[in-house]
A and B are shown apart, each in its own frame.
Chain A
Amino acid sequence: DTAVSQTPKYLVTQMGNDKSIKCEQNLGHDTMYWYKQDSKKFLKIMFSYNNKELIINETVPNRFSPKSPDKAHLNLHINSLELGDSAVYFCASSQGGTNQPQHFGDGTRLSIL
C-alpha cells in the first residue's frame, strides 16, 4: 500500500495557467507538508499543515495555496504559473510534526513551457 501518494506524477503546462497537485496519506498522520526541490536538488519546505491548520508558510508567493479537505489530504493549488515554478514538488506527512520522521511521496515534476 502506498503511504503517501501524489498525483499527477508529471505535469506539463504553459505559463499563466492554474494547476493543482493532489496528495493523500493513509498513515493516519496529523501533519502534512509540501516541499519544492529545484534543479540543484535543494529541498525547501513550502507549507506545513497540522490538524487542518496552516502552521508555516515559508516565504512562498501567494499564488501557491494549500487546501486540506481533511486530515488525510493536502492539495497544492498554483495560480498563474511562472517559468520559475518548474521543479519537483513533494508531499510528506509525519505524526507529531518534525519531532518524528517524515514519509514522502514520489513527487510531481512540474514543467512550465
Chain B
Amino acid sequence: SQQGEEDPQALSIQEGENATMNCSYKTSINNLQWYRQNSGRGLVHLILIRSNEREKHSGRLRVTLDTSKKSSSLLITASRAADTASYFCATALYNNNDMRFGAGTRLTVKP
C-alpha cells in the first residue's frame, strides 16, 4: 500500500519563485527521502532526513520533518526552469527493507 501522499498533485510557478511540496505518511518511519524524476528518466535522490532530524538543507533545497504530524515538506528556493520535474517523497520503515513512495507532485517552472 502507498505510504506517502504528496500535496499538491501539481504545482505551476514562475522562475525565481519558491516551490513548496508537502508529504504526509501514516506509520512510524526510520527516515524520509525526497526524489526527483524528470520525464522518461529514473528517480534521482535529493535529500534523506532521519526520524530524529527536523530540518536539512542542500543547496536550494530545504526539507523539514514533523514526526508528530507525520508530515514533511520540500522547499525549492529561487526555482529554475530546470527544476521542472515530478517530486516524490518516500518513507523507509524500521525493518530496513521496505520503501513506500507517494504519487508525487508535478512541478512546472515557467521561464
Chain A interface residues toward B at CB < 8 A: 4, 33, 35, 40-45, 48, 50, 55-56, 58, 90, 92, 96-107
Contact = CB atoms under 8 A, between A and B. Distances in A.
B42 A98 contact: no
Contacts of B48: 100-101
Interface of B: 2, 30-31, 33, 35, 40-45, 48, 86, 88, 90, 92-93, 96-101, 103-104
Which of A4, A41, A48 has most B Cβ within 10 Å?
A41
Given A42-B101, A43-B101, A45-B99, A101 B45 contact: yes
Contacts of B88: 43
Contacts of B41: 106-107
The 9 A-B pairs of least Cβ separation, nearest first, read: A104-B42, A98-B92, A101-B45, A97-B96, A43-B101, A55-B97, A104-B43, A106-B42, A98-B99
Given A98-B30, A106-B42, A41 B86 contact: yes
Q: Interface SS of chain B: helix, strand, loop or mixed?
A: strand
A97 B97 contact: yes
Most chain B Cβ neighbours within 10 Å, of A33, A44, A90, A102? A102
B10 to A, nearest CB: 11
Contacts of B33: 101-102
B96 A41 contact: no
Contact of A107 (B42, B86, B92): B42
A41 B85 CA distance: 12
A33 B45 CA distance: 15
A57 to B, nearest CB: 10
A103 B33 CA distance: 12
Given A42-B101, A43-B43, A44-B101, 11 more contacts: A4-B42, A41-B104, A45-B100, A55-B97, A58-B98, A92-B43, A98-B96, A99-B30, A102-B33, A106-B40, A107-B40
